[in-house]
């Protein structure tokens, strides 16, 4: 897409000559005869660069520069004048001008400045993208798991990434839905494009609508310039809709149009803007139940639910806890500048016996706290939060008045199998785990779950 440049000069001959020169170089150019007209052009459309004369009435070039930088700070500005002085140049630079050029100038002089200004704008966007990728690298690495459920997901991700199908990620908070969304983006043909996300539960409806779709100048009080929405920012990349189940119905209707037409409309404008994005949505709610409750659109659910990935809670894949704990230990040691040898067996036992209602996110926070506090070479139980060290009473299981449910029957059968293996191996956890064909940590977790203790 050609860079959009606005040329502002009250001298018509100069303005038109510069516009012709820039168009020959392949740029999309609009013109304005004074500062007021320039502000109207900027309010009506998005521009990458403004080239403005300093000596204009009634809005001077310096006033225009100041207003541009207030309304759209990422737009670069080159100022030009026939009365160039050091003082004027310094003032323009203080206000945020990219460069300063004195009339008359050679074509190559202005073209060089234009290329440099647009390069800086592109570089700023690239730096922002790289920062996002670096900050997300921790999360992508965090998609670890030896459990059958996670192995199945990890095997499927490369295949899913190669499609442009919409993906719906489900699971409790903290299970790693955004990490999976970033991994899908990183492995896709859109990896060089932006990854943009929004949390639908974090913003009120009007602000969320503005963030998603953008606006034109005058769309509402305070809208002094046109602004792209996040969906437009994600063009040629991936857009992640977190907590989609919390989106208001009016927003859901607009998102449905985006999915159906691949276009959007900015606030205050009826013109459709085409976009090319892949949509990945996530929720910790039961959207089928939300459809029945009429708080979520059924047609939108069908559009989102092309590929569904369910991320299990950590308590259902407890065998992944040691792997994740060691990973987070290495990562937080590096980030906090600590050197630790690992986790003690007793600390690992506490971790694998805990339910982690906050899932992987909570485990990461627990390990970060331990890394910060541990005085010795190993993380010990005393370095873990108190909630993990509190003794847990065995669950009380009253005798049901009616026939037990299939789940209760299954639990009783599993408990009996565990108890039999432990008794046969004289309560040696390692040998009992081998007899049962499960890991030692999984056995310890299930012993805690059923309140199984060796005889005193």
Specify the CATH number for the domain of residue 439. 1.10.10
14: containing domain: 4-123
Provide the token pair at 24. Answer: 């020959």
- Cβ–Cβ < 8 Å for 9, 38: no
For 10-62, write each residue's pLDDT tens digit.
899 999 999 999 999 999 999 999 988 998 888 888 899 999 988 888 888 88
For 337-349, write each residue's pLDDT tens digit.
888 888 998 899 9
Q: Which of 269, 296, 312 is the last residue of a domain?
A: 312
CATH code where residue 200 lies: 3.40.50.300
How far apart are alpha carbons 376 and 339 in whole angstroms? Answer: 9
Contacts of 152 (CB under 8 A, 6+ apart): none
CATH code where residue 107 lies: 3.40.50.2300
Choose among 86, 107, 133, 101: nearest CA to 22: 107
256 located within any domain: yes
199 located within any domain: yes
Distances in Å between the Cα of 196 and the Cα atoms of 88, 129, 238, 378, 408 are: 39, 9, 6, 39, 45
How far apart are alpha carbons 424 and 38 in whole angstroms? Answer: 86
How many separate domains does the chain show? 4
If asked whether residues 266 and 160 sit together in one domain, one would say: yes
- Pairing mode, strands 273-274 and 263-264: antiparallel
For 295-341, write each residue's pLDDT tens digit.
999 999 999 999 999 999 999 998 889 989 998 998 899 888 888 88
For 423-440, write each residue's pLDDT tens digit.
888 888 888 877 776 777
218 located within any domain: yes
């Amino acid at each position: 897409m050609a860079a959009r440049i606005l040329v502002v000069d009250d001298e018509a001959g100069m303005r038109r000559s510069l516009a012709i020169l820039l168009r020959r170089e392949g740029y999309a150019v609009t013109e304005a005869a004074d500062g007021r007209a320039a502000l109207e052009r900027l309010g009506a459309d998005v521009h990458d660069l403004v080239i403005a004369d300093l000596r204009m009435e009634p809005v001077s070039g310096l006033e225009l520069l100041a207003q541009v930088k207030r309304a759209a700070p990422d737009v670069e500005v080159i100022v030009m004048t026939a009365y160039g002085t050091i003082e004027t140049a310094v003032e323009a630079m203080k206000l945020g001008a990219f460069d300063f050029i004195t009339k008359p100038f050679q074509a190559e002089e202005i073209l060089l400045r234009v290329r440099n200004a647009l390069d800086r704008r592109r570089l700023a966007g690239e730096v922002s993208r790289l920062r996002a990728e670096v900050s997300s690298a921790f999360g992508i690495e965090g998609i670890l798991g030896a459990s059958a459920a996670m192995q199945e997901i990890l095997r499927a991700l490369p295949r899913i990434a190669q499609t442009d199908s919409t993906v719906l990620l489900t699971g409790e908070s903290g299970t790693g839905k955004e990490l999976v969304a970033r991994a899908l983006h990183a492995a896709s043909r859109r990896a060089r494009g932006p990854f943009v996300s929004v949390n639908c539960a974090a913003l009120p409806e009007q602000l969320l609508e503005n963030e998603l779709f953008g606006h034109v100048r005058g769309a509402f009080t305070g809208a002094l310039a046109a602004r792209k929405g996040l969906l437009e920012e994600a063009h040629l990349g991936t857009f992640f809709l977190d907590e989609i189940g919390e989106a208001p119905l009016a927003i859901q209707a607009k998102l449905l149009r985006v999915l159906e037409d691949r276009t959007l409309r900015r606030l205050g404008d009826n013109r459709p803007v085409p976009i090319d994005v892949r949509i990945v949505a996530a929720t910790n709610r039961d959207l089928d139940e939300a459809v029945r409750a009429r708080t979520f659109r059924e047609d939108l659910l069908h559009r989102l639910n092309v590929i569904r990935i369910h991320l299990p809670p950590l308590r259902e894949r407890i065998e992944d806890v040691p792997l994740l704990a060691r990973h987070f230990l290495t990562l937080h040691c590096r980030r906090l500048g600590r050197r630790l040898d690992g986790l003690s067996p007793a600390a690992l036992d506490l971790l694998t016996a805990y339910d982690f209602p906050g899932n992987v996110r909570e485990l990461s926070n627990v390990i970060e706290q331990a890394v910060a506090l541990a005085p010795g070479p190993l993380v010990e139980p005393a370095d873990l939060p108190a909630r993990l060290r509190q003794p847990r009473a065995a669950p009380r299981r009253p005798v049901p008045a009616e026939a037990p449910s299939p789940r209760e029957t299954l639990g009783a059968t599993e408990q009996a199998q565990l108890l039999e293996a432990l008794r046969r191996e004289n309560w040696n956890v390692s040998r009992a785990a081998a007899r049962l064909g499960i890991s030692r940590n999984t056995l310890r977790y299930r012993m805690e779950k059923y309140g199984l203790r060796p005889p005193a």
